Structure 1
Amino acid sequence: MKTRPNRRSSHGFTLVELLVVISIIIVLAAMSFGAISIATKKKNAVVTLTDVQALAQALDRYYSEYNKLPSVGSSGDEMVAEGQSGQELLKILLGKEDTSSDMQNPRQIVFLTARNTKNKKQGGLVYSNGNQVEGLYDAWGRPLNIKFDDDYDEEIQDPIKQGEVVRQKRAIVWSLGADGKFGDNDEVKSW
């Protein structure tokens, strides 16, 4: 009489093996989500920095050309790149100002070149109704902030660090960063 060895048939995984595999997959997924989040934050900061610098440089080029800063009727020396004043500023810098005798960019020079997007949440330069400038936004969907040297002494009070002065600038531009708050060092600025 022949006896067969008692072998366990291997038709599948045990419950313990399945739990170990699932646990490993969960840990790997969690690590990749963290890496994706960090990469997205960095990408948004770089994209916003590009737009912030483009607007600051456009204001510098405008000043170099006309020996003054655009006057858009904002009260004070601070404004945002949306709303009536912001839209007027952007039209001047884009060379799309309405033709009139009191044009601020009569040569219609294009000082600002920024990426165009479809909506605020993508950041960039947004147009509504086809060709109407809506605003210039950071990668988190908030309008860029602008502060002018309205007394032309090349000194601007730092809006982020109270008591400090930004020197040798006619205008500064910034975004509050991902969280939209001052003072946590995630601000994106032109100086």
Structure 2
Amino acid sequence: MEKIFPLLSKWIWGTKYNFLHKYPNSENILPSDLVQDEKIYLIDAGLSNNCGYPLVLRPERQVQIILSFDFSAGDPFETVHQAAEYCKKNSIPFPDIPAVSEEEKACPSDCYIYRGKNTPTVMHFPLFNRVNCGDSKKIKAMGKTYCTRKTSYSKNEIQALLNKSKHNVQNNHDKIVAEIQKAVEAEWKKNQK
């Protein structure tokens, strides 16, 4: 406890010595911010924005379509909105994500498609939705059954959750295939020029 409380007060959990600090002959090899600072500050993506978007959106990956499965408790659009904000701050191409009403958050559809000019297409799938759960009361009940703080689930609960996820993908199979086909056709046209 003696070691934990000072860390909590300063919040320096992810502070690490930067092994690349003043790395010799690195000016043409490494980005300057990787060698300038003696310490680096790391943060868990789950605390930062709770999604893996930043890792896949590096320009050299040329991502054209993202299948975004939301399994978080609460707002089913939170992670996709946070990803859009992160991308905007860091000049990363990402489609605009419109604001969503409280009613839509409480009872979302099973698939949302976000497009933009020169951005990847994002297909967002809330796990608990009006197609596979029904009304907002049933969606809320599912959220309580599978809350983040619950540490174990019965075999039946796990199977029910897997079935919800499976049916969500099956229900949107044609939309997923259509978006992949659009991405392939766009890439083919681009390469023909």
**Taking structure 2 as the reference length, what is the TM-score of the superposition?**
0.22
Q: Which has the higher contact order (CA 8 A, sep 6+)?
A: 1
**Greater share of helix residues, 1 or 2?**
2
**Taking structure 1 as the reference length, what is the TM-score of the superposition?**
0.22
Higher radius of gyration, 1 or 2:
1
